[in-house]
């Protein structure tokens, strides 16, 4: 009997080609589109129609699962909470944890599926070295998406397929779609936050939460007032544009004093730091780490990873120390640790220090 797989389908070319590849590999494929948020890029009539059209074309069933309530609780509410607490969130990570590899995995089990799959550019395999299933970088270079999978439940790893992990470019995926005459072959990528399709997250926050403009001071580290702001949520660490300050050297956002409603700014060299603390543990490669471990750490999706050492702390947090200071470490973003191309563990930035 063929192995059965539930594939998350967004209506885009990556998940559509994933469906095609899995079927050609002999899997019994079921397409699943999650209904998450109306009026967003991920959930609209075109999304559902494109996913269903591809499923009909290649001859597999298609289902739509209503996860709007769960998406609100785990993704949108977290997004709002982060900005309310001067953090810069990555909502895709929360969506992966709770929706794509959480609730969808439960649906897969209900349907008798052996696996779930997505169109992420990443790899998962069993490692004899580590005696467990692991996540690895894909072959896609800058398009690798292993960074956004840090929160995946460990018990799900052996039941995940990433059909695109061996491909080196999106052009290869589009060519497969074109050769098979899939209607989504030329469909543009979606790069914005799916529930903020116009990219105006500030307006979204003001409309969907109690966060509202509130004037305060922009100060330097010595407390000198440098200008005015209209709300802490308008700023993120490392930001240069939009400060409205005349200064001999460019100024950047360094941090916040929420209790005083202040944005802290400074010159570029002040953005660099060598260490920071993280929490929200999800060990993937080891059951525990009790000694310092040399890794490469990546702190933003688009950033490179750099040589560092991670130190376990008694309170369950972790201290990360870079070999060389790095720029704009930002609470709310994720710190991802690698050994070669293998994910060691993933953590969410908790508190910057020094």
On whether residue 152 sits in a domain, the answer given is yes
- Name the pLDDT band for 352 (thresholds 50, 70, 90): very low
Do 137 and 88 fall within a single domain? yes
Is residue 265 scored above 90 in pLDDT? yes
Is residue 172 scored above 60 in pLDDT? yes
Is residue 166 scored above 80 in pLDDT? yes
Do 45 and 156 fall within a single domain? yes
On whether residue 219 sits in a domain, the answer given is yes
Identify the CATH number of the domain in which residue 114 sits: 3.40.50.620
Is residue 278 scored above 70 in pLDDT? yes
Q: Which helix (H) or strand (E) holds 173?
A: helix 170-179
On whether residue 188 sits in a domain, the answer given is no
Q: How far is CA 111 from CA 52, 68, 114, in A?
A: 18, 20, 9
Q: Which residue has the higher pLDDT, 214 or 302?
A: 214
Number of structural domains (the chain) is 3
- What string of DSSP letters covers 29-64? EEEEEEE--TTSSSSSHHHHHHHHHHHHHHT--EEE
Average pLDDT score over residue span 147-164: 90
Active site residue: 42, 43, 82, 95, which one?
A: 95
Q: What is the DSSP letter of 340?
A: T
How high is the pLDDT of residue 42? 60
- Name the pLDDT band for 354 (thresholds 50, 70, 90): very low
Q: Which helix (H) or strand (E) holds 344?
A: strand 342-353
CA distance 255 to 262: 9
Do 32 and 148 fall within a single domain? yes
Lowest pLDDT segment from 34-43, 65-74, 326-335: 34-43
Identify the CATH number of the domain in which residue 311 sits: 2.40.30.10
Identify the CATH number of the domain in which residue 237 sits: 2.30.30.280
Average pLDDT score over residue span 305-313: 94
CA distance 335 to 327: 13
- Name the pLDDT band for 107 (thresholds 50, 70, 90): very high
Do 108 and 222 fall within a single domain? no
Do 44 and 169 fall within a single domain? yes
Do 314 and 241 fall within a single domain? no
How high is the pLDDT of residue 343? 83
Q: Which residue has the higher pLDDT, 112 or 278?
A: 112
Q: Which two tokens stand for residue 86?
A: 């001067």
- Range(s) of the domain holding residue 295: 271-353
On whether residue 233 sits in a domain, the answer given is yes
Q: Is 113 marked active-site?
A: no
- Give helix 201-208 / helix 77-84 axis angle, nearest 10°: 100
Q: Which residues on neighbouring strands pair with residue 310, listed in sequence order?
A: 293, 320
How high is the pLDDT of residue 353? 42
Do 79 and 108 fall within a single domain? yes
How high is the pLDDT of residue 1? 59
Q: Of all residues in the chain, what percent carry a pLDDT higher than 70?
A: 95
Question: 266, 286, 309 — which closes off a domain?
Answer: 266
Is residue 189 scored above 90 in pLDDT? no
Q: Of all residues in the chain, what percent carry a pLDDT higher than 90?
A: 74
- Name the pLDDT band for 19 (thresholds 50, 70, 90): very high
Do 129 and 258 fall within a single domain? no
Is residue 76 scored above 70 in pLDDT? yes
Do 59 and 170 fall within a single domain? yes
CA distance 297 to 147: 10
On whether residue 198 sits in a domain, the answer given is no
Q: How far is CA 90 from CA 75, 155, 172, in A?
A: 9, 23, 27
Is residue 40 scored above 60 in pLDDT? no
- What string of DSSP letters covers 198-266? TS-HHHHHHHHSS-----EEEE-TT--EEEEES-GGG--TT--TT-----SS--EEEEEEGGGTEEEEE
Q: By three-state DSSP, how is residue 143 classified?
A: helix
Do 157 and 37 fall within a single domain? yes
Q: Is 194 marked active-site?
A: yes
Q: Which two tokens stand for residue 191?
A: 């790069």
Average pLDDT score over residue span 143-171: 92
Do 147 and 218 fall within a single domain? no
Q: Which two tokens stand for residue 284?
A: 């993937």
CA distance 92 to 345: 17
Q: What is the pTM of this model?
A: 0.90
Do 117 and 226 fall within a single domain? no
Q: Which of 43-57, 194-208, 251-265 has the highest mean pLDDT?
A: 251-265
Q: Which two tokens stand for residue 235?
A: 């700023």
For 274-302, b where at least 16 C-beta lie within 10 A, e where not — what string? ebbbbebebebbeeebeeebebbbbbbee
Q: What is the mean pLDDT of the chain?
A: 91
Average pLDDT score over residue span 18-42: 89
Question: 224, 246, 266 — which closes off a domain?
Answer: 266
């Amino acid at each position: 009997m063929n192995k059965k797989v539930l594939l998350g389908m967004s209506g885009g070319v990556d998940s559509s080609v994933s469906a095609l590849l899995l079927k050609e590999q002999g899997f019994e494929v079921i397409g699943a589109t999650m209904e998450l948020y109306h009026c967003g890029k991920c959930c609209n009539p075109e999304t559902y129609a494109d996913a269903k059209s591809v499923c009909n074309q290649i001859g597999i069933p298609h289902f739509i699962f209503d996860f709007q309530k769960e998406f609100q609780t785990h993704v949108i509410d977290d997004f709002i909470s982060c900005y309310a607490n001067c953090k810069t969130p990555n909502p895709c990570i929360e969506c992966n944890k709770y929706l794509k590899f959480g609730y969808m995995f439960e649906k897969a089990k209900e349907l008798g599926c052996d696996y779930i799959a997505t169109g992420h550019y990443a790899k998962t395999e069993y490692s004899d070295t580590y005696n467990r299933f692991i996540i690895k970088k894909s072959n896609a270079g800058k398009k690798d998406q292993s960074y956004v999978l840090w929160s995946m439940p460990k018990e799900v790893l052996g039941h995940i397929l990433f059909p695109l992990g061996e491909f080196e470019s999106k052009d290869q995926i589009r060519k497969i779609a074109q050769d098979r005459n899939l209607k989504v072959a030329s469909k543009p990528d979606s790069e914005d936050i799916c529930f903020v399709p116009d990219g105006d997250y500030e307006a979204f926050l003001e409309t969907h939460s109690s966060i509202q403009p509130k004037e305060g001071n922009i100060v330097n580290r010595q407390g000198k007032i440098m200008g005015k702001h209209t709300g802490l949520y308008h700023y993120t660490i490392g930001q240069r544009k939009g400060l409205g300050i005349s200064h001999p050297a460019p100024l950047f956002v360094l941090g916040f004093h929420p209790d005083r409603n202040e944005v802290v700014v400074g010159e570029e060299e002040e953005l660099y730091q060598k260490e920071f603390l993280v929490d929200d543990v999800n060990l993937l490669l080891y059951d525990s780490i009790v000694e310092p471990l040399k890794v490469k750490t990546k702190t933003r999706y688009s950033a490179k990873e750099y040589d560092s050492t991670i130190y376990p702390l008694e309170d369950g947090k972790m201290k990360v120390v870079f070999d060389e200071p790095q720029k704009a470490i930002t609470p709310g973003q994720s710190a991802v640790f690698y050994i070669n191309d293998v994910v060691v563990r993933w953590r969410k930035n908790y508190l910057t220090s020094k």
